Amino acid sequence: MTYNILSIAGSDPSGGAGVQADLKAFSALRTYGMAVVTGLTAQSTTGVTGIHQVPASFVAEQLDTLFTDVRVDAVKIGMLVNADVVTAVAEALERFAPPRVVLDPVMIAKSGDRLLAQDAIDAVRELLLPRVDLLTPNLPETGELLGERPGQDLTTAAEQGQRLLQQGAKQVLVKGGHLGGQSSTDLWIRPNTEPIALSAERISTKNTHGTGCTLSSAIAALLPQHRDTYDALHAAKDYLTEALRHADELEVGHGKGPVHHFYALWPRPEDDSI
Ligand SMILES: Nc1ncnc2c1ncn2[C@@H]1O[C@H](COP(=O)(O)OP(=O)(O)OP(=O)(O)O)[C@@H](O)[C@H]1O
Ligand SMILES: [Mg+2]
């Protein structure tokens, strides 16, 4: 059996984040990748200079056309640009009811640039949260969705994750990439269960562009391939950590470069036999 995974997200011309990263992660994890583009960013490894929004009606048309033809085994949602696009995506989820929907509520790029209009955050909370299976906010996004200050430690992150469940999310993975320390820990939070920590060695690299996009896409690609959600989350985290470990082998841009999605496929840098 092969799996078809859909990304609904924005374009990053530098290829490290957005649909470009999503398609690389889907492919690296042996699934067939598809993408409905919600907006174009003018972006490099040093920042975002502009966003060109796709009209919501055309996002809806892309989704209608695709879902009418293709069996979609999992969906990853990334940048949604405005409230109308959020509404169009929520309507498509309602109509086509795809299994395994992962929402990465992209609001602010790693470079600090805002990627989602303020009014759209309300639409995400009201229309999308109840329709997705897993929400993967980073700490600032967790705070923003709750209207609270971002957590500064894992205890607060766990409490805030619980409050996102009360807002309608089914499961939350609060990402701890923004905390310092020896390890990089994310918290998987579900109703009536203690939070489960997914921890990995913190890789020392400046090349962390697109880690969030890559993790949520890896989860979407791996959920259909694993019986347990925990196993899929664990495998996705392992994949991201290895992609980060090999990030410095790439030579892309002057800022925060991309992770190495195909580290397992490319020859090792010291291996000059190929
Ligand atoms: N230096 C690092 N080493 C190992 N794992 C990391 C590192 N930085 C981030 N991570 C992991 O990367 C994933 C993404 O976390 P992060 O909190 O950076 O998300 P994000 O802010 O949404 O990323 P992005 O800015 O790419 O959207 C998490 O699993 C986090 O633990
Ligand atoms: Mg992110």
Domain boundaries, the chain: 4-249
Please name which of 259, 237, 239, 238 lies closest in space to residue 250, comparing C-alpha atoms.
259
pLDDT at residue 270 greater than cutoff 80: no
| Domain 4-249: CATH superfamily, name plus number | Ribokinase (3.40.1190.20)
Kindly tell me if the per-residue pLDDT of 253 is higher than 90: yes
Instruction: Report the pocket of ligand 1 as residue ranges, CB < 6 Å.
Output: 17, 110, 138, 175-178, 184, 186, 200, 202-203, 208, 210-213, 215, 237, 240-241, 244
Q: What is the mean pLDDT of the chain?
A: 95
- Whole-angstrom distance, CA of residue 111 vs CA of residue 47: 5
In this model, does residue 112 exceed pLDDT 90? no
Nearest-CA residue for ligand 1 atom 24 is 212
In angstroms, the Cα distances linking 150 to 1, 108, 147, 166 are 42, 13, 9, 17
Q: How far is the CA of 261 from the centre of ligand 2 (A)?
A: 16
State which ligand 1 atom lies nearest to the alpha carbon of 208: 8
Q: How far apart are the first and last CA of the chain?
A: 32
pLDDT attached to residue 87:
98
| pTM of the predicted protein model | 0.97
Q: Kindly tell me if the per-residue pLDDT of 273 is higher than 60.
A: no
| Among the listed residues 260, 166, 151, 169, the one whose alpha carbon sits nearest the alpha carbon of residue 208 | 260
Report the alpha-carbon distance of residue 141 to residue 137 in Å, rounded. Answer: 5
Q: Going by CA atoms, what residue is nearest to atom 4 of ligand 1?
A: 202
> Which residue, 84, 89, 83, is CA-closest to 63?
89
What integer pLDDT is reported at residue 118 of this predicted model? 79
Res. 180 pLDDT band, cuts 50 70 90: confident
Give residue 271 CA to ligand 2 midpoint distance, Å.
Answer: 34
* DSSP secondary structure letter of residue 108: B
